[in-house]
Amino acid sequence: MPTAELGDIRVQYRVAGSGPAVVFVHGLAEDHRSWRALQDEFTGFTTYAVDLRGHGGTTAGRPDGSLAQLRDDLLAFLAEVAGPAACVGFSLGGTIVLAAAAQRPDLVRGVVPIGTSSVVGRAAVDFFEERAQQVHEGETESAAETLRADTAGMVTAPGVDVEALVAYRLECIGDGTGYANAAMAMAGLREEPLSPLLPKVISPAVVVGGSKDAFCPRKAAEILLDGLPEASYREVPGAGHLMRADAPDAFGEAVREALTDVGVR
C-alpha cells in the first residue's frame, strides 16, 4: 500500500485503474477497503481510496476535532498525490468532500456526496459526543457495543452479515483516536454547519441517498440540493445508510451514473 507524508500525518491509500482521476473518501469507522469493490469495477478511472486521519493505515497526527482539518488533509492529498479529481464521499467523507470543493474548486472537479448531511441537530451532537467520550475515557467495551448497535441500525437487508461489518469497523478505528476526532468534527456541524458554504461548490454535484436511510434521511439530501448551485439526486432503492452493504449492485450503478453526470468519462 502506498503512503504519502502530508503535514503531520502519513496517509495510506489504494490506487487502481487508469483514466480520469476519482478520489473516494470513506465514512466514520471505515477505511479504504469500503471502496474496494468499486475500485475493482471502475477500471476506466484512476481511483484513489484514501484512509482518513486515524483510520486504517493513516496516522492520527495532531487531531483537533475539526472538519477544517479533515478538509485540509484531503486538499493536501489532491494537491500532492492525485491531482485535480472528482471526489466521492460517504457520510463523514461526503462532508469532507463538500468542504474541500467549497475551498478549492480547482482541485475538486466534481462532487458525489453519499448519505451526507451538511448540518446536524442536537440529538446528532449527543450521538457523536457520546462516541468520542467513550474513546477518551477508555471505555473500550462500551465503544465496541455502541459501534455494534450503530452498524445494525445502518443496514436494512436481512442477509447482511452485521458481525463481519462490526469486526471490520473496529479494525479500521484501531485505538479510536481518529474515530473520536472525526465524531467531534461531525458534532461541530451544529455550531458551524456546512450549509452556508454550499453555494461556493461550483463543481457539478450528484447527491446519492438510500431510500431507507434513517441516519441521513431525504431531508438531509434536500438541504444539499437546495444549497448546491448545480446538483441532482440519485437514490438507492431499499438501502439504509450503509448502502454498499444493503444493495451493492444498485449502489455501484448509482455511483457510476453519478460520475458520468458530473462529467467524469
Domains and CATH numbers, the chain: 3-261 (3.40.50.1820)
Mean pLDDT over 36-40 rounds to 98
pTM across the whole model: 0.98
Task: For residue 21, list its beta bridge partners.
Answer: 46
Q: Which three cell numbers stand for residue 232?
A: 441532482
Mean pLDDT of the region 2-16: 98
Amino acid identity of residue 61, one-letter, is G
| CA distance linking residue 183 with residue 34, whole number of Å | 18
Arithmetic mean of pLDDT over the chain: 97
User: Looking at residues 131-139, what average pLDDT do you find?
Assistant: 96
Distances in whole angstroms, Cα of residue 138 to Cα of each of 170, 177, 253? 15, 11, 41
Asked if 103 contacts 75 with a C-beta cutoff of 8 angstroms, the reply is yes
- Asked whether the predicted pLDDT for residue 18 surpasses 90, the reply is yes
Query: What order of strands is seen across the sheet that includes strand 9-16?
Result: 3-6, 9-16, 46-50, 21-25, 85-90, 108-114, 205-210, 231-236
Position 265 scores a pLDDT of 83
Asked whether the beta carbons of 127 and 104 are under 8 A apart, the reply is no
What contacts 40, CB < 8 A, 6 or more positions away? 16
The three cell numbers of residue 206 are 450528484
- The pLDDT score that the predictor gives to residue 83 is 98
β pairing state of 46-50 and 85-90 = unpaired
Average pLDDT, integer, range 109-119? 98
